[in-house]
């Protein structure tokens, strides 16, 4: 191979590598939100939990424990994602159509998810029923102190890792 061709090919490979590293914050947020909700929709909570901040992870898994068993997800759709005050915080609204195995009645629930950016990636730090049937998420049986402590740890995590 002639020398100039080697240089051009080398430059193209380096440039391609740089392009993959420069994924925008909005793309990372979109990928995190879509990925978590798709994994949860197909009952892959082991994968979805990896996208959840450590202080909130146990609560997230516990609140989704009936998914794929007593609760079947018919469809889910991320209807809105927006950043708050820059790129470090975001909110997503997810519409979930689901039914309980024992009643076979279709229900709709809108979830509100709060996300923060930690070391360049977004993680879920809170999720609650925004509208619709509240039975989609199990009430987590934990004392108020533990919940407040998890919320406090999540805020500290977000503050330390812009």
Residue 35's pLDDT is 97
Cα 90 to Cα 152: distance, rounded to the nearest angstrom: 18
pLDDT, average across residues 18-30: 75
Question: What's the CATH architecture for 26-160?
Answer: Roll (3.10)
Residue 60's pLDDT is 97
Residue 65's pLDDT is 93
Under the banding of pLDDT at 50, 70 and 90, the label for residue 13 is low
Identify the burial level of 98 via C-beta atoms within 10 angstroms of its C-beta, where 0-12 means exposed, 13-18 middle and 19 or more buried: buried
Label the pairing between strands 106-118 and 121-132: antiparallel
Helical segments of 44-161, H only: 45-48, 54-63, 144-160
pLDDT digits (tens, 9 = 90+) for 41-97: 999 999 999 999 999 999 999 999 999 999 999 999 999 999 988 889 999 999 999
Report domain extents, the chain: 26-160
The closest alpha carbon to 105, from 137, 135, 61, belongs to 135
Residue 153's pLDDT is 59
pLDDT, average across residues 112-117: 97
- For residue 119, what is the enclosing H or E element? none
Percent of the chain with pLDDT over 90: 65
* pLDDT score of 116 more than 80: yes
């Amino acid at each position: 191979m002639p020398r100039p061709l080697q240089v051009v090919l080398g430059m193209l490979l380096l440039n391609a590598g740089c392009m993959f590293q420069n994924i925008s914050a909005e793309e990372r947020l979109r990928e995190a939100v879509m990925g978590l909700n798709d994994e949860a929709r197909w009952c892959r909570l082991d994968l979805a939990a990896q996208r959840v901040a450590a202080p909130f992870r146990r609560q997230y898994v516990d609140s989704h424990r009936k998914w794929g068993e007593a609760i079947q997800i018919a469809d889910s759709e991320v209807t809105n994602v927006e950043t708050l005050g820059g790129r470090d915080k975001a909110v997503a609204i997810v519409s979930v159509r689901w039914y309980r195995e024992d009643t076979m009645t279709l229900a709709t629930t809108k979830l509100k998810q709060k996300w923060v950016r930690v070391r360049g990636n977004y993680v879920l730090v809170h999720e609650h029923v925004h509208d619709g049937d509240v039975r989609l998420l199990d009430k987590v049986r934990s004392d108020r102190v533990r919940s407040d402590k998890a919320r406090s740890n999540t805020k500290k995590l977000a503050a330390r890792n812009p």
